[in-house]
Structure 1
């Protein structure tokens, strides 16, 4: 990643002058997409991409009232307070090391991982990856504050609580999940069907429980690979929302190295629950035919994603490259899943 050119920090500063949502409820994907573009050698495209993307964004929402250590609980999950939350988190990271702030707030926010269709936790994952690997410049720490503030404002608990206790691998467990009755619906209405979906909790809890923090890390790594591979076959059920079944657990995986180890197993459980829920709400019954084998390199695949322009496709490709990098000889199915997203998602900066 070229973190020395200043492109990422410039892009983040531009985006911090906009709100975290637009058109009423759509998430601002800009910070996540530009981080991925810079990381994968596409820094030269960032400002042109932003010129188009920011034209649809909205101003930072008005403040409602200052949050403090004494009153933040009353504002948890209140999207009207998002600017108050951002200011509060900005003060937190200004007064203490960002890792300490993250460790304190992660267990508070984790039960609300489903908020805004998991976009806030994904935004946190991109921010943490940069801080861990590329340096702690001011705009990057500010981005973590924005991401945590957005998560707090959109904090939404799932209507089900899952504790993995079985023996199944992520691939097997995902395949066994029953689907909700009405898949032609919103995320909120889809998730609300889970408690009444026969056999869902039993199937979700069939995932093998981790034995220790390292095992939790390995289980989460396997989950990211399984959900990425599954997109290749079933992404057509809901091309955009099923992206999150892979990118949300990958965001959690990216964050684990910055967290105390005793938070790793609960993080796996939350990430699995979110991925399982989205799979049941939107995964279709029948897979797509296997694509024709290709010979593109990871770099070429990401170049295609950057040219495609859609933020979800960029982020899924970013995750697919992570999966491929963890395999000694690459991972053709992960790269094919990324290419599938370019077919299923409408091209353009949106």
Structure 2
């Protein structure tokens, strides 16, 4: 698949399915980006993952067709909708995060990309969009970043439109430098310090979060879209980021001083470690697949904007972690870190090639599309890291489709 930005070069992957079938599926415009309200249509993410795993085009096409007929949630995807508005440079920010007219945003970014080219569109619009990267349970970010990974223009247009449509701000206007005493921290140090704070203050922090999300008065909810109240998870994240916390809003020195490439490697290790603390956790898995996306987005940005992507990602994942009302225990984090920090597999050992073949075969059989995505990202990182065992172990920790909350008995709020 072609590189659609001059600034972005996807790593060579000899396993990737190189076929017009994949481009056709990713360029499809017949389905809406969501179904049953705010549930994301994930099918294109699955196509990218399966293609990256080297799955035959016929199987990818069959997976796609089965998903659009009936998703793992038990609903079909919905047909594309017609644009009702005309969005322009003069009004595009007016509808940010209002879940208003995804098709009109697609028309806008399609038109602007034809006029400016993809690199300039990303440079010009992402500074406004990336602070809202957690919207739609991070799936808007995944849609754009995985489109850049695959090199598909139309999917990238959809990703930009979805970021605008589902924008949930990390509130960078509240950001402040972290305390000077933490200036020498690396990402792992920052995470462990915050985990320690939660451990010491768990009796107060847990109830504080629960009381926060229970308050659904108009004054408390503010500009959170009412459809997110049906979600549970998305509402909690939006409410947490809207409220903020000194630890969420603090900008660690490494996020602006360290090479973003190093930061992405460090952060991938950390979110994978978090996933192994609670293996199969649906929400934590999204931190892995969205980081893969953010990395590709940052690579496509001018150098002077790449640190911002790191900062927004850090703020966003803390908002996600705080929103759950609990935090991984520092003792378990430290124990797993000591187990995996220096553990390496020999990339040339046929045992690991066989194990990856098994993992890929399992993933292809999964109706829950988050699992092939997990295997795809973990294998990419296993190779990139020179065979860190952490990624191989995490790749086998599959998730299950969550039960929908009782709020889904109510109709969607359009």
Q: TM-score, normalised by structure 2?
A: 0.71
The counterpart of 1:20, out of the listed 33, 53, 56, is 33
Mapped to 1, the partners of 2:328 and 2:298 lie a distance apart of: 33
* Residue in structure 2 matching 1:339, options 376, 381, 396: 396
Query: Any residues of structure 2 matched to 1:159-238 within 5 Å, and which?
Result: 161-162=174-175, 165=178, 166=182, 167-175=184-192, 176-177=194-195, 178=198, 180-181=206-207, 182=209, 185-193=232-240, 200-202=245-247, 205=250, 207-210=252-255, 212=257, 215-235=259-279
Hey, what's the Cα distance between the residues in 2 that align with 1:277 and 1:210?
Answer: 16
Equivalent pair of 2:17/2:55 in contact (CA under 8 Å): no
Question: What stretches of structure 1 of length at least 5 have no aligned partner?
Answer: 132-139
> Hey, what's the Cα distance between the residues in 1 that align with 2:144 and 2:296?
9
Report the TM-score when normalising by structure 1.
0.83
Alignment of 1:1-350 (within 5 A): 1-2=15-16, 4-14=18-28, 16-44=29-57, 45-55=59-69, 56-131=76-151, 140-158=152-170, 161-162=174-175, 165=178, 166=182, 167-175=184-192, 176-177=194-195, 178=198, 180-181=206-207, 182=209, 185-193=232-240, 200-202=245-247, 205=250, 207-210=252-255, 212=257, 215-235=259-279, 239-282=281-324, 285=328, 297-328=355-386, 330-340=387-397, 342=398, 344-346=399-401
Counterpart for residue 134 of structure 1? none
State the aligned residue count.
329
Q: Name which of structure 1's ranges 155-164 and 253-262 shifts more when overlaid on structure 2.
A: 155-164
Cα pair 2:45 2:143 within 8 Å, conserved: yes
Task: Please state how far the C-alpha of 1:116 moved relative to its aligned partner.
Answer: 0.8
d(CA) in 2 for partners of 1:273, 1:143:
26
CA shift at 1:3, angstroms?
5.3
The whole-number CA distance in structure 2 between the counterparts of 1:170 and 1:36 is 27
Distance 1:118 1:323 in 2: 20
Cα shift at 1:2: 4.1
The secondary structure found in structure 2 opposite 1:345 is coil
Larger radius of gyration: 2
Greater Cα offset, 26-35 or 73-82: 73-82
Gaps of at least 5 residues in structure 2 are 1-14, 70-75, 199-204, 214-231, 344-350, 403-414
Measured in 2, the distance between the counterparts of 1:203 and 1:195 equals: 11
Asked if the contact 2:27/2:153 (under 8 Å) is kept, the reply is no
- Secondary structure (helix, strand or coil) at the match of 2:359 reads helix
Q: Measure how far apart 1:164 and its partner are.
A: 6.0
CA RMSD of aligned residues (A): 2.9
Q: CA 1:162/1:36 → structure 2, altered by over 3 Å: closer, same or farther?
A: farther
Change in Cα spacing, 1:163 to 1:48, as seen in structure 2 (3 Å) is farther
* Superimposed CA distance per residue, residues 210-266 of structure 1 (whole angstroms, 9 cap, x where no aligned partner): 455x61221122101210122011245xx2221122222221112222210000111
CA distance in 1, matches of 2:255, 2:170: 22
CA drift of 1:180 comes to 4.6
Q: What are the Cα deviations for residues 299-329 of structure 1, in whole angstroms up to 9, with x where unaligned?
A: 432332222232222222222122211222x
C-alpha change, 1:245 and 1:63, in structure 2 (3 Å) is: same
C-alpha spacing 1:189/1:327, structure 2 compared with 1 (3 Å)? closer
> Residue 169 and residue 322 in structure 1: after superposition, are their counterparts in 2 closer, same or farther (change >3 A)?
farther
State the SS of the aligned residue for 2:27. Answer: helix
